[in-house]
Structure 1
Amino acid sequence: RILYIGNLFFEVTADSLQAHFAKFGNITNARIVTDPRGLSKGFGYLEFESPADAEEAIKQMDQSVFEGRRMMVQPHQARDRQRPSAASSVFDTTPRAPHPPSKTLFIGNLSFQMSDRDLNDLFRNIRDVLDVRVAIDRRTGQPRGFAHADFIDIQAAQKAKEVLERETVYGRALKVDYSASRARRFQDGPQE
């Protein structure tokens, strides 16, 4: 029996979600849905071994507060009832194709504890960096857990990607991918 859990705080992981619901019974699968950059979309799925346990979890946890957000806990409705794989498809974590190399790197899974100094340390041994921008939430003014870095050329970005992929900051492995570079985005948009 699969439950849909919505309105989750973006820092919630599959592990923390599973731990939060473990008191209701055996959970066979837990997943947070992420965007192509690996960032949480704010909802996920839990699969309970027993439908009765799932029912109890819905009764007690729907509209309850977890990590400061009021969760929505509902039975997952598979859109296509004919497909036997519909239930398992929500747990399909087949990785998406990575972006083609570009001069801009996306760096995700950054800890919210990260300071400017931590960021500078991270890039201290990386050459040919033009600019590093940490994404900030406009409403809260808080960092959103990812950054973009622009490099002189694609080769510099490739070298940096190899280095950054091996880094962990505050115990978190960085997610590094190529991003559409700014110049290309501006070219695609209206010319000033």
Structure 2
Amino acid sequence: MTSSQLTEIFVEAGTVVSVEVMYDRVTDRSRGFAFVTMGSVDDAKEAIRMFDGSQVGGRIVRVNFPEVPKGGERLVMGPKIRNNNRDFVDSSHKIYAGNLGWRVSSQDLKDVFAEQPGLVSAKVIYERDSGRSRGFGFVTFETAQDVEAALKTMNGVEVQGRELRLNLAAVKAPSSPSVTEENEGSSVDTSELVSSAST
């Protein structure tokens, strides 16, 4: 889907100021989302009403206000990276949790393992600049026995529509925090929208 094609679609909701489809710097392929700047907040709200959850170009799209202002990812995510991982407790008894849904937060991951004996902490790994989940995280426990029990019990359990893929994590020396929680619940008074196509 090109910028001009998106413009033709969104103009039905009001004035379209600009459309920017986001591309991967290496492959030059679309990353599956775009920023659409409407002429006013009312036009933006109308576009959300008209197109969120609708089919565009053969895919169901999500249309909403951006959680992080375009270009401001590092500024917003930097403090979140530091603040939201202060509570994570590392341990030599650790599980790698893969195949996580993009909206699974560190707290969600911890909640999933809440009934497991010896649970210490959990964190999802996020891209430093964009704040997007990298689709995996770590869960720490008090003992090796706790880890073994969790691996047996939780491997393959469905979390937000995806099956957990668990492995024993390789233990590394502690490093500076490099992850962040999702930027949830922010309200943005802007005419800019994010349009993303679900696969």
TM-score range for the pair, normalised by the shorter chain length: 0.3 to 0.5
Higher RCO, 1 vs 2 (CA within 8 Å, ≥6 residues apart): 2
